[in-house]
Amino acid sequence: MSEIRVEPYLPDEDYDNPAMVTDFYEFTMANALFLKGFKDTVMVFDMFFRKNPDNLGYSISCGQRKLVRFLQNYHFTDRDVTWLRYKGMSEEFCEYLRNYRWKGDVYMMKEGTVAYPQVPMVRIECDMVGAILIETYLLQTMNFHSLIATKATRITGMNIHRPRNVMEFGTRRAQGESAGNDGAYAAILGGCIGTANCLAEMRFGPSVKAVGTIAHSFIEFFPSEYEAFKAYADTYPDNVSLLLDTYSIFESGLPNLIKIDDYLIEKYPDNPNRRVKSARIDSGDLARGYKRLRKALDKAGKSYIKLVASNSLDEKKMINMELYEGAHFDSYGVGENLITSATDPVFGGVYKLVAVKEADGSYTPKMKCSDSVSKAIIPGKLMAWRLFDEEGKGQCDIIALDGEEFKDGDEIEVINLDPDAYHARRVVKAYHIEKLLVPHIIGGELVIDLPDIETKKNYIRDQLENKVWESELRPEMPHQHYVDLTLKVAEVRAEMYEKLHGGRI
């Protein structure tokens, strides 16, 4: 047998093709199925998650915009093909990938939709190669965006109907450049009013507004704190925001703050806009500092100066300051606890094969059973619906086979997916019902107008204020949203589990 010569691959640290953000097993599987003749076999995968971050009552589905852009630009380069051949993929498979374009169908929740465990967020239907090879990028994108958008709604107070002005300050502590940029975008969707990240505004536009003023180093650079304040005020007289805790908030920062504001009044007596706008504290007992500063500034006739807090804040620290200590800062800068969702840094979305399309157009359900019933997936080509009660709030989500249809006013018999439910089988009335999975890409072509950032931000706010049971929004021990199966789905699942695993669910 003649020796097989493989072209060596030389690494390039600057190379970047998102299609190669792929776990290697996806290539080994796709190559094997390709060689076995399944190149054109159409697979259906669902992406869903099993629990809400922090075990709370809801999540926000986010990342759709980036996923759509990825799929519409999906391709492999000569460098990719060279590397895959070097890694042992077949010549036929490598050459097939050289001209491959993504031509599948994507049904997803609209970006910003309130989402719940077990309910499909994304449904992919595509030829075998396109279905298998996008798993890692899809999960990375949907998981991270959903994680940060969900965390942001809690930090900005969207979920408790106590909105806060929060600036996202986490880029320097994000897990890499892409996390900083994507996290800023997701944080804005979740209610933030700005980000420290300049590239994020350059990419996403003025809705992802870059904000910021000065750091301690600027103040340290000058011979005195007052001179630093004056230099900044002279440079930006219309946007004077100062940092008070470089040396001492009350012995130095506060007196110099008042002095600078008086200086601006004297310099610009006829321009009330040229005054100190705000002052930030980044250390010490923030609640106590707020109350002392507010009292002193009000006494000095400077109630127009707003107060800003930062320093490892999260939603619990802010609500404690507000409710128990009466410290209501005008705005907050939140960094690592937002951009990493520090209290629960993993959004556990998974991507599972649920059906294979046959030559006659029918779909054969597929199922991972597992020895743990909680991990037994829901098989079949599915559609998710949200059923609203008489007050217009989401009463439950229903997982149905794709061909099942419902309309307003229907009474639907369902099986509660929770194995501990006391009344597992029940009838629910659809005062109003909507499909949750809407077509985004059909045959590789975009079929939906993607809304702008402000529209998506308002969409999230409207749901949390008007379309979600308040008991699901509780920070402690929230109601767990009802997720039900239609009788057809429940029977398919039970029969497959019995056949494949040997027992009924």
pLDDT in tens, 12-23: 999 999 999 999
Q: What pLDDT band is residue 2 in, cutting at 50, 70 and 90?
A: very low
Q: What angle do CA 25, 29, 34 make, to 5 degrees?
A: 145
Taking CA atoms, 219 is separated from 54, 212, 247, 259, in Å, by 39, 15, 9, 16
User: What sign has the CA pseudo-torsion 54, 56, 62, 67?
Assistant: positive
Q: Going by DSSP bridges, is the β-strand pair 240-243/411-416 parallel, antiparallel, or unpaired?
A: unpaired
pLDDT at residue 373, as a whole number: 73
Work out the number of other CB atoms within 10 angstroms of the CB of residue 98: 13
Task: For residues 55-81, give the mean pLDDT.
Answer: 97
Nearest to 61 by CA among 148, 177, 171, 169: 148
For residue 484, the cross-strand partners are 398, 416
Instruction: Identify the burial level of 130 via C-beta atoms within 10 angstroms of its C-beta, where 0-12 means exposed, 13-18 middle and 19 or more buried.
Output: buried
CA 264 from centroid of its chain's CA atoms: 42
pLDDT at residue 434, as a whole number: 98
pLDDT in tens, 283-335: 999 999 999 999 999 999 999 999 999 999 999 999 999 999 999 999 999 99
What percent of the chain stands above pLDDT 70? 98
pLDDT at residue 504, as a whole number: 67
User: What sign has the CA pseudo-torsion 187, 193, 195, 199?
Assistant: positive
Q: Going by DSSP bridges, is the β-strand pair 276-281/306-309 parallel, antiparallel, or unpaired?
A: parallel
> Taking the C-alpha atoms of 411, 413, 418 and 424 in order, what is their torsion angle to the nearest 10 degrees?
110
Q: What DSSP string runs through 104-142? A: -EEEEPPTT-EE-TTS-SEEEEEEHHHHHTTHHHHHHHH
pTM given for the model: 0.96
User: E strands, 282-335, where?
Assistant: 306-309, 331-334
What is the overall mean pLDDT for the chain? 96
Q: What pLDDT band is residue 339 in, cutting at 50, 70 and 90?
A: very high
Task: For residues 157-172, give the mean pLDDT.
Answer: 96
Task: For residues 204-220, give the mean pLDDT.
Answer: 97
CA distance 329 to 345: 27
Work out the number of other CB atoms within 10 angstroms of the CB of residue 395: 22
pLDDT in tens, 91-105: 999 999 999 999 999
pLDDT in tens, 238-262: 999 999 999 999 999 999 999 999 9
Task: For residues 168-187, give the mean pLDDT.
Answer: 96
pLDDT at residue 5, as a whole number: 60
Tokens of 287: 């609640």
Asked if residue 393 has pLDDT above 50, the reply is yes
Asked if residue 406 has pLDDT above 90, the reply is yes
User: E strands, 187-325, where?
Assistant: 194-195, 240-243, 276-281, 306-309
Asked if residue 456 has pLDDT above 70, the reply is yes
CA distance 473 to 468: 8
Asked if residue 202 has pLDDT above 80, the reply is yes
CA distance 199 to 195: 10
